[in-house]
Amino acid sequence: MISRRQFLIVTCAAAAVPARAQLPTNITAQRKAALAEAVREVVGASPLRTGRVKLDLPPLVDNGNTVPLAVTVDSPMTQADHVRAIHVFTEKNPQPKVISVTLGPRAGRAQIATRARIADTGQVIAIAQMSDGSFWTDRVEVVVTLSACLEEGLI
Amino acid sequence: MARVVVTVPATAKRGEVIEIKTLAGHPMETGFRHTQTGELIPRDIIKTLVCLYNGAEIFRAELHPAVAANPLVSFTTIATDSGTLEFRWTGDNGFSATQSASISVV
């Protein structure tokens, strides 16, 4: 006589194996590599330092389809010392890039805001390029309850 | 024609930092979704937003599919002279929209 517990273990294991096989097994590694590649494209060989950049977004995201995010960089925004560009990346999206903006001393304040799609719980990264060529970064860990990019069959 | 909205203060003091908000009506289709019959929905996004202050470029944004539908972008600039701010959006499938706002600097 097979117990309920044994039955559940066997059937769940049988159900889980093909479901897992449908996904590319190394998808997390692929996305990590894509993120590293996108960051390297921006930063090159320069060192990436933490600080000066403040990435502001809710730590718990109800709906990944519209996540308000703001980036503020601590900079005087003068001709001699200003932020040249701000880039935002996500860790788990199919493509890591979110937005890249070009600023100049005429911006007055290095402050931008937009709304992003975030696919899954993970890191969001902002990188600022200064006029002296240095790069500064901020990372925020977010928890996403309803993922973007997964709502299939809408049409 | 796409609906676009920009918010720029009507008047500002010279040298004041003003906040500009832009919103464009656009689905920002990612190119990763499928229809019920399994066909891939092709990508259709706004790629760039450029802001010109009296003809000089002050801000440029490159958008990717990870920007939410109806993209909102807000940024700041220094009010230097009275004149017009022109906003240009361009994207896939020949999408293009322009909007301008006038500002008087005292």
pLDDT in tens, chain A (155 residues): 678 887 777 776 666 554 444 455 577 888 888 898 999 988 888 888 998 999 999 989 888 889 999 999 999 999 989 999 999 999 888 899 999 999 999 999 999 999 999 988 889 999 999 999 999 999 999 998 887 766 553 43
Q: What distance in Å separates the CA atoms of residue A73 and residue A83, rounded to the nearest whole number? A: 8
| Nearest chain B CA: its distance from A93 CA (Å) | 8
- DSSP-H helix ranges across A23-86: 27-43
* pTM for this prediction: 0.83
Residue B38 within any structural domain of the chain = no
**Per the CB < 8 Å rule, is A104 touching B58?**
yes
State the DSSP H helix or E strand holding residue A127, giving kind and residue range, or none if neither: strand A122-130
Residue B58 within any structural domain of the chain = yes
DSSP tag of B44: B
- Give chain B positions within 8 Å (CB) of A106: 53, 56, 58, 77-78, 80
Residue B81 within any structural domain of the chain = yes
| Predicted confidence (pLDDT) per residue in A41-81, tens digit | 888 888 889 989 999 999 898 888 899 999 999 999 999 89
Q: What distance in Å separates the CA atoms of residue A124 and residue A142, rounded to the nearest whole number? A: 7
A59-72 as b/e: b if 16+ CB within 10 A: eebeebbbbebebb
Residue B35 within any structural domain of the chain = no
For position B63, which CATH number holds? 2.60.40.10
A86 touches chain B (CB under 8 A): no
Hey, which residues does A86 pair with through a beta bridge?
A: A101, A128
Into how many domains does chain B fold?
1
Candidate from B67, B71, B78 with C-beta closest to A106:
B78
Compare all CA atoms of chain B with the CA of A112 and give the residue at the minimum distance. B75
The pair of three-digit structure tokens given for residue A78, joined into one six-digit string: 């003068």
What is the fold, at CATH topology level, of the domain defined by A4-146?
Immunoglobulin-like (2.60.40)
Domain ranges of chain A: 4-146
Residue B37 within any structural domain of the chain = no
| Nearest chain A CA: its distance from B22 CA (Å) | 9
Residue A11 identity: T
Candidate from A93, A103, A115 with C-beta closest to B72:
A115
The pair of three-digit structure tokens given for residue A85, joined into one six-digit string: 């560009």
